[in-house]
Structure 1
Amino acid sequence: MNLSVSNSPFNEEQAAQLNQVLKDLTPEQRIWLSGYLTAGQQVAAQAATTDAAAASPQVAENVLNSDTPTQAKREITVLYGSETGNAQGLAEMFADRLVEQEFAVKLNAMDGFKARDLKKVQDLFIITATHGEGDPPDNALTFHEYVHGRKAPKLDGVRFSVLALGDESYEFFCQTGKDFDAKLEELGAERLVDRQDCDIDYDDPAEKWMNANIEKLINESGVEPTVTATESGQSAQKQRYSKSNPYEAEVLENINLNGRGSNKEVRHIELLLDNYGEEYEPGDCVVVKPQNDPEIVALLLETLGWDGQQEVTINEDGDTLVLENALKEHFEITKLTKPLLQKAAPLFENSELNDKVNDNEWIQEYIYGRDVIDLIQDFPSNNLQPQDLHRFLRKLPPREYSIASSYKANPDEVHITVGAVRYEAHERARNGVCSVQLAERIEPGDTIPIYLKKNPNFKFPFDEQTPVIMIGPGTGVAPFRSYLQEREELGLTGHTWLFFGEQHFTTDFLYQTEWQTWLKDDVLTKMDIAFSRDSDEKVYVQHRILENSETFYQWLINGAALYVCGDEKYMAKDVHQTIQHVLQTEGNMSETEAEAYLAEMRKENRYQRDVY
């Protein structure tokens, strides 16, 4: 909300100056400033009361014993556990809105909060993602262990609410949020608002959770709100490009980086950001709003025997779209999840499906590699209607891609590196929704809806004293291209070491000439490469780390910052175990000591991962 003469006690010049200052403040700075002003006001009020008491004891008694109903606002603590920045962004937004309502707010990442202070909190709000197979994000691990450990305090008198982020396609959906919610109640805390579990499309449920909590806090405080919770949310959404307000970016280049004969297709895509109005940093993401393949949509309509031109309801609010467009732009139709099957069973009225959805083991096996077309063919329904789709299909989620360019070097552009996903499953060819759209159906001159997303948990140092180790096989190398491009633009040299891996040297060496140029110009100090299919025995980046074990260890103990980007399930896990092995071997550490060393690196932001 902008200040003006009409909505504040400031004159026009003061309002303009304050608007300029507030516009550039981070959420943490706004919260600090709010606390500072509140504290100053309290000191002034105490001084005034003291002066009044000195002048007239009767006046002081009237001030302190006034019949005017006032209820002190409780102090609010907002903690977040975030892997890719989604939970952090929501926590900052929530804290910002609470400050706007003049609440005293403390905002922290879970690893930045002193666990022993938990017993001192009054109102606690937890916003957390779930990582991997039901695990807490890296920056929530220690706090999660503390809350679930023997040292956790009784929390009588504490009130709380949990916002959990997850992905329904994973078995342990929103597990970390569920863990915190159950444990806080077990410790004696009172739940303010029920836990909200959010799928990938988290905007609307997160908004409802924020509004419900803010309205409850306002009602209990007995103070008039400065602005309604809904108005506050709408104002925040209008301020920048987002999922609900994307930017139509023109495609400038769409180049296949792989050589002829490669088993892979990796596209280098350059997008125009003319007048976007926002900068990005190495480590940030471009988020693309994709569309389903028209051929898949046509096959689904044929399988269902439905008219694609009829209007259908697409959500609980009653919004409608033409069916063909709804299947192309709105609904996710290429992925099955456990909740989808459980919601579909009563709508399909298929007895076999009704029996099978009670078998969790069968569900996990069935959903792998199958889509909605498979489901309809395997479990035909005579009663399913177009108006039923929104009752079991979720919204088509946007796709995030690490930025592969420097804003300082390309202020009107943003580059991404996208690997086209193609595979065979259950006797049908399958394609990645967004990656194959970008590879096959998007050409220079076309536009695609995008927005930029900050990734506060993957940030690089920009000095010449900190050594930097980057590990990025395949398309995981994208943020390191961004980082080195920015270092070159800033004229920085220093110790930088890149590990890159792919299948074949001759066809899959992504951005080869750029790395070679940066090596020659000392922007990149050292590079080790691993091409797994060029030898009888497969060689991956973790093998190159082991071959350079002594040097790698020296870089770490000399203060190197370590970055890993790419596949979580295999690469990131193998790399982590290898680094742990290096610490044990070269540093004479036990396994526990090596893991503690890496945990300390995480706290110091010297070990950061962007894995998926």
Structure 2
Amino acid sequence: MNQITPPEMIELVPESAPFSPEQRAWLNGFFAALIAPDQSAVTPLSAEQNAALLSAGDDGAAPWHDQSLALDARLKLAEGRPLRRRMMAAMAQQDCGQCGYDCEKYADAIAARQEERLNLCAPGGKETARQLKALFEEMNKAPVAAPAIVEKSEAARPAQPGCARQTPTKAKFLSRRRLNRDGSEKETWHVEFDLSESGVDYKPGDSFGVFAKNELGLVDQIIAMLGASHVTPVRGKTLRDVLCEDCSLSPAPDALFELISYLIGGETREKARLLAQGEDPDGDAATLDVLAALRKFSSVRPHAEAFVEALEPLQPRLYSISSSPRATPGRLSLTVDAVRYVVGQRKRLGVASTFLAERIAPGETLPVYVQAAHNFALPDNPATPIVMIGPGTGVAPFRAFLQERAAIHAPGANWLFFGHQRSTHDFFYADEFETMKSIGILTRLSLAWSRDGGEKFYVQDRMRQSGRELWSWLADGAHIYVCGDAKRMARDVERALVDIVAQHGARSADEAIAFVANLKSAGRYQQDVY
């Protein structure tokens, strides 16, 4: 094996920083490890090793590729498989594209040593990043067991501006309007962008990536906890700009706790060390964002440069597009829930959702890109009937589907299941859908309101009520689409569909499960879930 020459020490902590020479040396080494790839990680395998390991222990199936499964269940299904498959199982299984890949290609790229960033799976969060780190270390300790080199991924190839997260373009923010009526417990916005000068296009089913900024009040509180100035220079910018534009402030990353553990002593140091290792000594790990971490260890004031290097990069957020370019040329719309919640006495904000809901002004531009859909698109034959199931903001792509079918005069029937809390407050796009129904574009509209009656009633309940008709549509070749929550709604909808197939298709439970699985493999059951 070739000997690796250690790189020269990278000087990331300036001599003016308030650390002893020993502390500076340790911090320089700590951050060099964070930002510089391990040279052993890029040692290529021989062609013989790659050929031998391409299919070792792998039958090509990926039973863990299910968004409703917990991480430990997915990893259990991947036991005994090659590292690249276990890496895939560690991911969120949503094929959302936020990482610039789908789940399988991201895993293959890491395992083939074409991608060194292990923290790109935004839906998987810290759990996925930790598991990928452990698997990557396992691969480096036993390089003979590494997976085969894969074909260079699309994410690694140059992309047109606006067509990938690596090459965003600028779009103009046009407007927002609230979709809920006063008194609703939710806050959902219809948001519009001008793409006429962006040079990008999209199709119904695609997603829109938005590079948002952190809320300024949160940034200033963090700077105050550091005892730093807003204009402290970091990475060629001011500290305020870096924290607003470049750094993720939630959740608090393991590297921050590791930094804190070095700068503090006693029992508190041990708590920080345990948090860095994924433990939860005080039962509050799940609620610790960066500000909360600084408050928890308030006696520590990391140097601004060291602090910033310990943070994760701010990731773009993806939203299902709720318009068709045929219906609104040069414009694009999203349907966005503004995320706001309270932890203790402190209000927390969703970064991109509240950025779109209140912080960006009409006329301003922001970096964006279109993420092409992975297996979520209208049928090639416009005469094919479709069934769309999208409660809440899950209705977004189906508004786009209906606009597209109307624009091309598709003869296929369209059935929409929509649900939310209250019919009087939360019926998104009610006038549009009622108009589509009256002119025959929307063949059926089935609604479910969870808070209108004494018992909660959901879209899957409405599906069961309409089971005989749903089975008839399936028998006529209908495609089924589901958009929304992966953990509960999508799982409950699939269970309802299995029950409908069993009851009205005269099949056993096992046969009904196999029938739905065949719909998926044939592309007749597609999901955009998160």
**TM-score tier after normalising by the smaller chain length:** 0.7 to 0.9
Which of residues 337, 346, 352 is equivalent to 2:261? 346
- 1:191 paired residue number: 146
2:306 matched to which residue of 1? Answer: 388
Residue by residue, what CA displacement relative to the aligned partner does 1:117-166 show, whole Å, maximum 9, x if unpaired?
Answer: xxxxxx9987975577x66979xxxxx9xxxxxxxxxxxxxxx8376763
Cα shift at 1:266 = 1.0
The correspondence of residues 242-257 of structure 1 with structure 2, limited to 5 A, is: 242-257=164-179
Sort the Cα spacing of 1:246 and 1:525 in 2 relative to 1 into closer, same or farther, 3 A.
same
Q: Distance in 1 between matches of 2:134 and 2:478?
A: 36
Structure 1 residue 407 displacement after superposition: 1.1
* Alpha-carbon distance in structure 2 between the residues aligned to 1:548 and 1:599: 21
Matched, 1:334 2:290: no
Aligned residue for 2:193, secondary structure, equals: strand
* C-alpha distance in 2 between matches for 1:235 and 1:562: 33
Listed one character per residue, the Cα deviations across residues 234-267 of structure 1 (whole Å, up to 9, x for unaligned) are: 9714665543442221122211111111111211
Aligned to 2:222: 300
Q: Is residue 528 of structure 1 aligned with residue 479 of structure 2?
A: no
SS at match of 2:325: coil
Partner of 1:161: 112
Within 5 Å, give how 1:47-196 maps onto structure 2. Answer: 129-130=88-89, 161=112, 166-167=121-122, 169-173=125-129, 190-191=145-146
Which of 401, 416, 435 matches 1:517?
Answer: 435
Distance 2:93 2:133 in 1: 10
- 5 Å matches for 1:561-576? 561-576=479-494
Q: Distance in 1 between matches of 2:284 and 2:83?
A: 40
Paired positions, count = 442
Deviation per residue, 1:402-430 (Å, 9 max, x gap): 00110122221111111111111121111
Q: In the TM superposition, what is the alpha-carbon distance from 1:300 to its structure 2 partner?
A: 1.1
Q: Secondary structure at the match of 2:378?
A: coil
In 2, distance between residues paired with 1:343 and 1:241?
36
Work out the CA distance in 2 between the residues paired with 1:556 and 1:233: 36
Counterpart in the other structure of 2:317: 399
Residues 1:392 and 1:595: Cα distance change in structure 2 (over 3 Å): farther
Query: Do 1:272 and 1:414's aligned partners in 2 also have CA atoms closer than 8 Å?
Result: yes
CA distance in 1, matches of 2:133, 2:263: 31
Q: 1:487 is matched with which residue?
A: 405
Q: CA deviation at 1:380?
A: 2.5
1:277 equivalenced with 2:232 (yes/no): no
Contact 1:348 1:382 in 2 (8 A): yes
Aligned counterparts of 1:533 and 1:335: Cα–Cα separation in 2? 32
Give the superposed CA RMSD.
3.9
The structure with the greater share of residues assigned to helix is 1
Cα distance, 1:528 vs structure 2 = 0.7
Shift of the 528–373 alpha-carbon distance from structure 1 to 2, 3 Å rule, reads: same
Q: Give the TM-score normalised by the residue count of structure 2.
A: 0.73
Displacement after TM superposition at 1:346 (Å): 3.2
* Aligned-partner Cα distance in 1 for 2:354–2:155: 35
Local SS of the residue matching 2:204: coil
Over 3 Å counting, the alpha-carbon distance change for 1:351 and 1:265 in structure 2 is same
> SS of the residue aligned with 2:287?
coil
Q: Name the SS of the counterpart of 1:451 in structure 2.
A: strand
Instruction: Provide Cα deviations, 1:474-497, integer angstroms capped at 9, x if missing partner.
Output: 111000000100011001132211
In the TM superposition, what is the alpha-carbon distance from 1:355 to its structure 2 partner? 2.5
Structure 1 counterpart of 2:375: 457
User: Retained in 2: the 8 A contact 1:370–1:425?
Assistant: no
Paired residues of 2:155 and 2:164 also in contact (CA < 8 A): no
| TM-score, reference length from structure 1 | 0.64
Candidates 178, 182, 187, aligned match of 1:260 = 182
The residue type paired with residue 355 of structure 1 is E
Deviation by residue 1:509-552 (Cα, 9 ceiling, x = unmatched): 00001111111121111011111111111111111011111212
**Which one-letter code corresponds to 2:505 in the other structure?**
G
2:422 corresponds to which of 495, 504, 528: 504
Task: Supply the distance in 2 between the matched residues of 1:387 and 1:177 (Cα, whole angstroms).
Answer: 24
User: CA 1:372/1:177 → structure 2, altered by over 3 Å: closer, same or farther?
Assistant: closer
> Offset at 1:178?
7.9
Q: Deviations over 1:287-344 (max 9, x none)?
A: 000100001111111122111101124xxxxxx321000110011113235x345534
Alpha carbons 1:254, 1:269 under 8 Å: kept: yes
Q: Judge conservation of contact 2:163–2:200 (CA < 8 Å) in 1.
A: no
Partner Cα distance (1:330, 1:422) in 2: 21
CA contact (8 A) 1:580 1:595 kept: yes
After superposition, the Cα gap between the structure-2 partners of 1:341 and 1:353, relative to the gap in structure 1 and judged at 3 Å, is farther
- Aligned ranges 1:18-29 → 2 under 5 Å: none
Match of 2:495 among 568, 574, 577: 577
Once residues 234 and 466 of structure 1 are traced to their aligned partners in structure 2, the CA distance between those partners, rounded to angstroms, is 36
Preserved contact between residue 464 and residue 495 of structure 1 (Cα < 8 Å):
no
Q: Which has the higher contact order (CA 8 A, sep 6+)?
A: 2
Letter of the structure 1 residue corresponding to residue 247 of structure 2: F
The CA deviation at 1:587 is: 2.7
In structure 2, the residue corresponding to 1:506 is in which secondary structure?
Answer: coil
